[in-house]
Amino acid sequence: MIHGDDRSLQAARARAYALAESGRYDNLHSVQQALISEGWSNAGRALDSDYARKAIGERCRAAQAH
């Protein structure tokens, strides 16, 4: 079931990116908490990579700048 797991993690990352771009969240931690509150039980695993953490941080900063 690796492919299903990959899709689920990709979906959680996509949602995290959308939340970060919304401008309502200041940092990775707040985006992760929002994911968890929405019911994404795999939020921690989805945001475990350095790339995902950096991308979310950059999107949060960019959204806050506008």
Whole-prediction pTM value? 0.89
| Residue 9 in tokens | 């993690």
- C-alpha separations of 36 from 1, 26, 27, 65, 66 in Å: 22, 16, 15, 25, 26
Domain boundaries, the chain: 2-65
Condensed to tens digits (0 to 9), the pLDDT of residues 7-64 reads: 999 999 999 999 999 999 999 999 999 999 999 999 999 999 999 999 999 999 999 9
